[in-house]
């Protein structure tokens, strides 16, 4: 996969085909930005595309396959670590054992995830991996091309989040908070503003239904609504065409 900038889409396609050593008809193309002529050379915009050759396995595909494979790694035996710390030391130093495991996981994940993303064509900063809370790691991806890892309506974000979570949860039994170019922060702020009106409906009528929510928004809204109304039935529903929304009711109504 490569990113190409050119004055026209046609030139961008041609450059992509040349770089990937295939014909234009064999390209899979995502248009990141359409070209704009501007006025008197002001406010001009170049065409920006991300392209892959259909008949070749791109470095991104290989990397994502490798990431999926991380989920098969063995898990650390936390129970055995706890028993060992009690029997050998004479007191329960489980907390320090857990902290040691988390710090070890932190360094391993930081090393492995940076090694993995180094094989991609995107220009990103070194990936930061820090502790978000007792059970969650925060993985932050920033840099010139970081936004390209989000994708239209967050489809790449969702795929990366799913695969990275499966890896660290299977091996380290930890949760994941993935932040790419403040995408998650912006989504949480947007859904927070929208939910204010939903809260009003629930508080006055006892029930409510959200609008159709795209991508990661439905998961953020579900988390917020369940935290605010633990005594209520809060669940995701689907329309006939697969769109997602959330219903909030009293349990006795179901």
Poorest-pLDDT segment among 36-45, 58-67, 116-125: 58-67
What would the CATH number be for the domain defined by 59-180? 3.30.300.20
Per-residue confidence (pLDDT) for residue 39, from 0 to 100: 56
Res. 81 pLDDT band, cuts 50 70 90? very low
Res. 135 pLDDT band, cuts 50 70 90? confident
By three-state DSSP, how is residue 125 classified? coil
Does residue 84 register a pLDDT over 90? no
At 207-239, the pLDDT tens digits run: 999 999 987 888 899 999 999 999 999 999 999
- Check if the beta carbon of residue 67 is closer than 8 Å to that of residue 164: yes
Per-residue confidence (pLDDT) for residue 151, from 0 to 100: 85
At 18-61, the pLDDT tens digits run: 888 888 778 888 888 888 876 555 567 888 888 888 765 444 55
Per-residue confidence (pLDDT) for residue 236, from 0 to 100: 93
At 155-207, the pLDDT tens digits run: 889 889 888 988 888 888 888 899 999 999 999 999 999 999 999 999 999 99
Tokens read off for 79: 């129970």
CATH for 184-253 (3.40.50.2300, 3.40.50.300, 3.90.550.10, 3.30.1370.180): 3.30.1370.180
Per-residue confidence (pLDDT) for residue 41, from 0 to 100: 53
| Number of CB atoms found within 10 A of residue 144's CB | 12
Does residue 11 register a pLDDT over 60? yes
Region 145-161: mean pLDDT is 87
- Check if the beta carbon of residue 250 is closer than 8 Å to that of residue 241: no
**Placement of tokens 């991609």 in the chain:** 120
Locate CATH 3.30.1370.180 in the chain.
184-253
Res. 113 pLDDT band, cuts 50 70 90? very high
Does residue 109 register a pLDDT over 70? yes
- Closest by CA to 168, choosing from 216, 135, 134, is 135
Per-residue confidence (pLDDT) for residue 9, from 0 to 100: 86
User: Which of residues 212 and 253 earns the better pLDDT score?
Assistant: 212
Per-residue confidence (pLDDT) for residue 55, from 0 to 100: 65
Locate CATH 3.30.300.20 in the chain.
59-180
Q: Output the CA–CA distances (angstroms, integers) from residue 26 to 11, 15, 116, 137, 162, in the order listed.
A: 16, 13, 26, 40, 29
DSSP 71: T
Res. 94 pLDDT band, cuts 50 70 90? very low
């Amino acid at each position: 996969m490569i990113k190409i900038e050119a004055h026209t889409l046609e030139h961008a396609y041609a450059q992509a085909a040349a770089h990937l050593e295939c014909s234009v008809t064999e390209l899979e193309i995502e248009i990141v930005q359409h070209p704009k002529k501007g006025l008197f050379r002001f406010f001009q915009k170049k065409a920006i595309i991300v392209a892959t050759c259909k008949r070749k396995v791109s470095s991104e595909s290989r990397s994502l396959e490798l990431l999926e494979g991380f989920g098969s790694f063995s898990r650390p035996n936390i129970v055995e670590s706890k028993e060992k710390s009690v029997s050998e030391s004479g007191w329960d130093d489980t907390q320090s054992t857990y902290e040691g495991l988390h710090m070890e996981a932190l360094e391993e994940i930081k090393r492995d995830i940076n090694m993995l993303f180094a094989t991609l064509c995107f220009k990103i900063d070194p990936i930061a991996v820090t502790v978000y809370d007792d059970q969650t790691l925060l993985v932050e991806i920033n840099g010139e091309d970081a936004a390209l890892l989000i994708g239209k309506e967050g489809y790449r974000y969702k795929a990366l989040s799913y695969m990275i979570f499966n890896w660290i949860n299977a091996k380290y039994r930890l949760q994941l908070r993935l932040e790419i170019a403040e995408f998650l922060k912006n989504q949480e702020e947007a859904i927070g503003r929208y939910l204010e009106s939903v809260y009003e409906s629930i508080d006055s009528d006892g029930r409510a239904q959200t609008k159709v929510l795209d991508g990661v928004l439905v998961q953020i809204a579900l988390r917020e609504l369940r935290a605010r109304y633990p005594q209520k039935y809060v669940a995701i529903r689907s329309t006939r065409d697969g769109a997602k929304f959330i219903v909030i009711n009293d349990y006795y109504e179901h």
